Amino acid sequence: MDNNLFFNDLQQTEVKEQVTKLLKRKEPKPLWREYVEVILISFVAAILLRLFVVSAYRVDSGSMENALFEGDYIFVNKLAYSYTEPAMGDIIIFKFPLNPTRDYIKRIIALPGQTVEVIDKVVYVDNRLAEIFTNVKYDDPKIMAAQLSMRDNFGPVQVPEDQYFVMGDNRDDSQDSRFWGFLPKENIKGKAVFVYWSWTPDESAPKSGFPYIQVPFEYGYYFLTNFPSSTRWERLFTVL
């Protein structure tokens, strides 16, 4: 009986020693493999964030001046309205109702059920003076009659259910709900959060065209030589 116990203990000890040797023999991962794994994980994480959480957009018009300028690059929170409703004053990215392949950026002025009216450029919501946002601007001193344009005199109209009334902060130069109607809720893609980069538009910048092989080099040279002067440093990380 004692001999059997002795042999069992001996066998268990030998097995443990063999396992320990095998574990010690396991070679560490090569450094290049660790780098590849980190890069792949980061790439997948970036794709998931891009698809479901945040998106980056470039502002390509002046319709939101002075809140946003052409050449601003912004982060948009795609989950902003997953659990809350859009609020008056939010700057949003949305699919243009008349052409869903294009994205627009505007500010929410009125919510579903509210009544909007513009009288001589002044905006009223529910017969009260609407909130005047800091960055709103008017460049044209002329007042256009409603018979000529809906820019300065519009409404009153009531916003339908599940739709919104949006306007650009550059009130005299913005194609918005005054001209193309209400914005359906399902068209909203997210809420603008902050400006992460800003580049002054330049007509002399390289243009894509034949021969295409030159374009990356031209862009690279242009970026390096214009980086300090063309970057709007004061715009970086501007909260919207």
Q: Which of 21, 95, 106, 185 is catalytic?
A: 106
Backbone dihedral angles phi then psi of residue 10, each to the nearest 5 degrees: -65, -40
Helix (H/G/I), strand (E/B), else coil: 201: coil
Tell me the pairing of strands 54-58 and 163-167: unpaired
Q: Is 114 within 8 Å of 157 (Cβ atoms)?
A: no
Element (H, E) at 162: none
Alpha-carbon span 24 to 105, nearest angstrom: 59
Beta bridge partners of 183: 164
Q: Is 166 within 8 Å of 109 (Cβ atoms)?
A: yes
Residue 191 bears catalytic tag? no
Q: Is 157 within 8 Å of 123 (Cβ atoms)?
A: no
In the chain, the amino acid numbered 206 is P
In the chain, the amino acid numbered 115 is T
Q: Which of 63, 174, 177, 198 is catalytic?
A: 63
Residue 106 bears catalytic tag? yes
> Which amino acids are annotated catalytic?
63, 106
